[in-house]
Amino acid sequence: MDAIILQILNGLDKGSAYALIALGLTLIFGTLGVVNFAHGALFMIGAFCAVTLSRILSASHEVLVEGKTDFLGNPLKEDVPYVYDWFGESAGAAIIDWSVPLSILFAIPVMILVGVIMERGLIKHFYKRPHADQILVTFGLAIVLQEVIKYYFGANPIPTAAPEAFKGSFDFGAMIGLDPNTIIYPYWRLIYFCFAAIVIGCVFAFLQFTTFGMVVRAGMADRETVGLLGIDIDKRFTIMFGIAAAVAGLAGVMYVPINPPNYHMGMDFLVLSFVVVVVGGMGSLGGAVLAGFLLGILESFASMREVIDLIPGINQVIIYLVAIIVLLTRPRGLMGRKGVMEE
Amino acid sequence: MLGLNKQDTTILLVVAALTIFAPFILNPFPVDSAMAQFNAGYPDLMQRFVIFGIFAIGFNILFGLTGYLSFGHAAFLGIGSYSAVWMFKLLSMNVIPAIILAVIMSGLFAVVIGYVSLRRSGIYFSILTLAFAMMMFALAYSVLTPITGGETGLQLALDDPRILGISATPEGNIPTPSLFGVEMRASTTVPVGAWEFTFNFGYYFCALIMLVAFYLSVRIFRSPFGLTLRAIKSNQQRLNYTGVNPKPYTLAAFVISGMYAGLAGALMASMDPLAGAERMFWTQSGEVVLMTILGGVGTLFGPVLGAGMIKYMENIISKINSDILHSWFAFLPDGLEDLIVAIIYPFIGKGWHLTLGLIFMLVVIFLPGGLVEGGQRVRSWMKNRGKSKEETSQTPAE
């Protein structure tokens, strides 16, 4: 029992990342009909937003320390971050400590901007081109974005810590009435899951309960008619692209403490997220989220020692295996709609 | 000639001439000159040109003719390499059995993967092939270590059986791959004045195979089979209505292109007898897509051109460093020199992928037909310009 719960919990954080990226991919595909291979790069850019903000916040200047000398006898200098000067020492330290959650506020406008520029500048010209061309041009864009990040941030992973309050683990087993010390779970992963759930909830609520969302949904169902009703659907779809980019970016920001970001993390996640989208059903938002969590949890179950002993190597291939089986038995994916991508 | 029409014969002869004279063409700069680093006429790089040429020609048979975009073609490259190295380990260092086994094995895998993947089309097909390739990569990297050598890759050893050959040379070394006794790495260097040209047996062996592969692909392009494949690309539904079942045709194309990839993998292993799982990674599949698109998808000459371009850039651009840039722009005033070097610097050396990505994007956006289409456009533009000049020159005469 506890082992099962533990594996479900372990699968949740990766599953959350898959679900968020797959949600963004599906939003873009459902609205604009574009297969965006650069979506993993957006995830990565989000992660590097967090790195950038934490670097900006830690920017410091040298201050002479009165009455102290270093070992050479020169006056001792100390690096003091600018935020200490502006907000006082304790508040400044708190701001630096909380740089990753603060990056959310920084990343949302940046990512929406990146998304809108991408859509207006490049993808707009590819609506009428075949899907293969869309895949290829976004694939090229992904390479370019990845290399630009590599140029500025280097090839090595950059560790960026979570706030002090959320470091370490807690005893999840004891909380739900099991024996203590059976399920130890890091705080940040639980936060990541909750955060993902909130973001997903917000996106669905936005689409379901606002006029803007209603128009977008109508546009997804029948773009032409909505256009004929005098609504500038292109503009709204552009904004949806920005939102999808922001969702991927937020997934990246919060993933930073779990896995130090490097320039190719986007591509690593992209391949799996595409599998997730296809398993969930192209164009189905619910399917993307469901398949994201499902595959994340399946992956963590497959990494259990007992399972690996039974079928060696299963943890490496389980997602692809599931994708192949699903595609062959349910060609539209778990929740795919009829008539989407069935040429 | 050889059952080709005049135009195709010309293309074949051009490719043949380019490959045969590659050691001269790729070495235009004298050895001691500052430009010598742009010489690409050394065996290792020339071998890669033709091997990746074969890979891209095969990929083009699938993607160029049927329009099915496979994102997992590197799997067959890896299978070819592994099979070839196993042949070197077990049978002999002769490359012929290694190549034969590699082509058969990759063909068999292609039948299975193709049969399953081709049940879907479009993006689903891309994802399925990608999934298969990544699965094989993951397995080769971990569980299948006894067969694939895992992280270190599959290497030859002194105690390999090699039933028909020798386990070790009299000097106690591992024998090198050869063709009936002629070693692949055998090469002669001919100095001509300030130039130096290297002729490598392995390169000419690969080049010969590439020419055969290219000839076969021309024949496939011009055959009724090729025509059916094109029909699948342009309108599969209409083909269905005319009573043709496209499945066997696409599967045949998939298997053929898989076998080409296996052949390329075997040649890679013949030039350098080791095989690693990274050859199956999806970036490798992406690379062959880039090559084909860059050169011109669906054209005969395009994939070869694209493969050559990318491998040339990979080797030459990545060698340039900031010192070389400074020496190039040394004639400029200091401030301007630094500025230009600073602008160019991100695109060279380690940043060559950035250059590649940008060029690739530009090609997809503006030249969907690749460099071949670019060449055609330039030619027709020249023709038109010539014509309009004649017209304008005629007007005042009237």
Q: 3-state DSSP call for residue A188? A: helix
Q: Which residues of A touch B139 (CB under 8 A)?
A: 313, 316-317
Asked if residue A262 lies in contact with residue A4, where contact means CB atoms within 8 angstroms, the answer is: no
The CB density around residue A296, as the number of other CB atoms within 10 Å, is 25
B346 in a structural domain:
no
Cα–Cα distances (Å) from B345 to B319, B327, B334, B393, in that order, read: 12, 13, 16, 47
What is the domain extent for residue A186? 2-52+99-329
Question: Structural domain tally of chain B?
Answer: 1
A282 in any annotated domain: yes
Considering CB atoms only, which of A132, A147, A343 is closest to B351?
A: A147
Say if residues A285 and A27 touch (Cβ distance below 8 Å).
Answer: yes
Which of A337, A297, A333 has the alpha carbon at shortest distance from A318?
A297
Beta carbons within 10 angstroms of residue B383's beta carbon: 10
Q: Which two tokens stand for residue B280?
A: 């199956």
Could you give the CA distance from residue B61 to residue B225 in angstroms, rounded to a whole number?
11
Residue B161 pLDDT greater than 80, yes or no: no
The answer to whether position B374 is within a domain reads no
**Long-range contacts formed by B117-122: CB under 8 A, 24+ apart:** B117/B70, B117/B254, B118/B68, B118/B247, B118/B250, B118/B251, B118/B254, B119/A328, B119/A331, B120/A327, B120/A331, B121/A343, B121/B68, B121/B236, B122/A131, B122/A341, B122/A343
Q: Between residues A267 and B129, which one has the greater pLDDT?
A: B129
Whether the per-residue pLDDT at A221 is higher than 70: the answer is yes
**Whether the Cβ atoms of residue A6 and residue A183 lie closer than 8 Å to each other:** yes
- pLDDT-wise least confident of A16-30, A142-156, A297-311, B242-256: A297-311
* Higher pLDDT pick, A341 / A126: A126
What pLDDT was estimated at residue B397? 45
Which single residue is written with the structure tokens 């050598």?
A: B149
CA distance B84 to B98: 4
Averaged pLDDT for residues B233-259: 90
| A269 pLDDT higher than 60 | yes
Per-residue model confidence as pLDDT tens digits over A6-17: 888 888 888 888
List CB contacts of A66: < 8 A, sequence separation 6 or more: none
User: Among A124, A308, A317, which would you mutate to test the B interface (most chain B Cβ atoms within 10 Å of its Cβ)?
Assistant: A317
Q: Is residue B210 part of a domain?
A: yes
Is the minimum CB–CB distance between B351 and chain A shorter than 8 Å? yes
**Min CA distance, B18 vs chain A (Å)?**
29
Look at residue A146 in the predicted model and tell me its pLDDT. Answer: 87
Q: Report pLDDT digits (tens) over B29-53.
A: 777 776 677 777 778 888 888 899 9
**What proportion of chain B, given as a percentage, has pLDDT over 70?**
96
Looking at the structure of chain A, the number of domains it has is: 1
Q: Kindly report the three-state secondary structure assignment for every residue of chain B.
A: CCCCCHHHHHHHHHHHHHHHCHHHHCCCCCCCCHHHHHCCCCHHHHHHHHHHHHHHHHHHHHHHHHCCCCCCCHHHHHHHHHHHHHHHHHCCCEHHHHHHHHHHHHHHHHHHHHHHHCCCCHHHHHHHHHHHHHHHHHHHHCCCHHHHCHHHCEECCCCCCCCCCCCCCCCCCCCCCEECCEECCCEEEEEECCEEEEEEHHHHHHHHHHHHHHHHHHHHHHCHHHHHHHHHHHCHHHHHHCCCCHHHHHHHHHHHHHHHHHHHHHHHHHHCCEECHHHHCHHHHHHHHHHHHHHCCCCCCHHHHHHHHHHHHHHHHHHCCHHHHHHHCCCCCHHHHHHHHHHHHHHCHHHHHHHHHHHHHHHHHHCCCHHHHHHHHHHHHHHHHHHHHHHHHHHHHC
Q: What is the pLDDT of residue B264?
A: 93
**Residue A134: what residue type?**
Q
Asked if A23 and A200 touch (Cβ cutoff 8 Å), the reply is yes
Residues A291-308 have pLDDT tens digits of 998 888 888 888 877 777
Measured between alpha carbons, how far is B127 from A280 in angstroms, rounded to an integer?
13
User: Distance of CA A128 to CAs A191, A228, B128, Å?
Assistant: 41, 19, 25
**Domain-embedded: residue A64:** no
Bridge partners (DSSP) of residue B12 are none
**Nearest residue, CB atoms, B142 vs list A139, A278, A316:** A316
CB B162 within 8 A of CB B153: no
DSSP A64-94: EEEEEE-TTSSEEEEEEEHHHHHH-HHHHHH
User: In whole numbers, what is the pLDDT of chain A averaged over residues?
Assistant: 82
- Does the interface ipTM go beyond 0.85? no
**Closest-CA distance of chain A to residue B88, Å:** 27
pLDDT value of position B111: 94
Most confident of A129-138, B196-205, B248-257: B248-257
Quick check: A290 pLDDT over 70?
yes
Is residue B265 very low, low, confident or very high in pLDDT (cuts 50, 70, 90)? very high
Report pLDDT for A105.
87
Q: Pick from B245, B253, B266, B228: which is nearest to B69 by CA?
A: B253
Q: B131 and A320 in contact by Cβ < 8 A?
A: yes
* The pLDDT of residue A339: 59
pLDDT band, very low/low/confident/very high, at B71 (cuts 50, 70, 90): confident
Higher pLDDT, B196 or A260: A260
Q: Would you say A267 and A61 are in contact if contact means Cβ atoms under 8 Å apart?
A: no
Pairing of strands B154-155, B274-275: antiparallel
Looking at residue B396, its pLDDT comes to 44
Q: How far apart are alpha carbons B6 and B14 in whole angstroms?
A: 12
Q: Does B238 touch chain A (CB under 8 A)?
A: no
| Helix or strand run (H / E) with residue A305 | helix A305-310
Q: What is chain B's mean pLDDT, rounded?
A: 83
**A144 vs B346: CB contact, 8 Å cut-off?**
no
B392 found inside a domain: no
User: What long-range pairs does A211-217 form, CB within 8 A, spacing at least 24?
Assistant: A212/A236, A212/A239, A216/A31, A216/A240
Judge whether residue B26 has pLDDT over 90.
no
Give me the residue label for tokens 């986007």. A266
Residue A236 lies in a domain: yes
CA-based torsion, A183, A186, A188, A189: positive or negative: negative
On the question of pLDDT at A100 being above 60, the answer is yes
Quick one: pLDDT at residue A343? Answer: 46
Confidence band of B1 (pLDDT split at 50, 70, 90): low
Domain boundaries, position B178:
6-282
Task: Answer whether residue A79 is part of any domain.
Answer: no
Q: Is A27 inside any structural domain?
A: yes
Kindly state the DSSP code that residue A153 receives in the 8-state scheme: H
Over residues B311-337, mean pLDDT: 78
Distance (Å, whole) CA A132 – CA A46: 26
Is the predicted pLDDT of residue B398 greater than 60, yes or no? Answer: no
Query: Is A206 within the bounds of a domain?
Result: yes
Q: Look at residue A169 and give its three-state secondary structure.
A: strand
Residues in chain B closer than 8 A to A324 (CB atoms): 116, 128, 131-132
Two tokens, residue B146: 């006894």
What would the two tokens of residue B111 be?
């039948």
Residues in chain A within 8 Å Cβ distance of B143: 312-313, 316
Hey, is A57 helix, strand or coil?
Answer: helix
Taking only Cα atoms into account, the Rg of chain B, rounded to an integer number of angstroms, comes to 23
Nearest CB to B127: which of A150, A151, A278? Answer: A278
Phi, psi of B191 (to 5 degrees): -80, 130
Find, among A261, A162, A145, A206, the residue nearest to A23 by Cα.
A206
pLDDT digits (tens, 9 = 90+) for B88-122: 888 888 888 889 999 999 999 999 999 988 888 77
Q: Is the pLDDT of residue B27 over 50?
A: yes
Domain assignment present for residue A105? The answer is yes
Is B342 part of a structural domain of the chain?
no
Residue length, chain A? 343
- The CATH number given to whatever domain includes residue B220 is 1.10.3470
B358 vs A contacts (CB less than 8 Å): 140, 144
CATH code for the domain in which residue A159 is found: 1.10.3470
E strands, chain A, in order: 60-69, 75-81, 169-171, 184-186
Q: Nearest chain A residue to B132 by CA: give it.
A: A320
Closest CB from B121, B135, B364 relative to A133: B364
Return the pLDDT at B394: 47
Q: In the prediction, which pLDDT does B58 show?
A: 92
Whether residue B345 lies inside any domain: the answer is no
Residue A299 falls inside a structural domain: yes
Q: What percent of chain A has pLDDT over 90?
A: 7
pLDDT of residue B393: 47
- Give residues with Cβ within 8 angstroms of A271, minimum separation 6: A40, B130, B134, B282
Cβ-Cβ contacts under 8 Å, A330 against chain B: none
Q: Are B250 and B233 in contact (CB under 8 A)?
A: no
Here the tokens at position A156 are 């090595």
Residues 368-397 of B with CB under 8 A from A: 368
Least confident of A214-218, A222-226, B196-200: B196-200
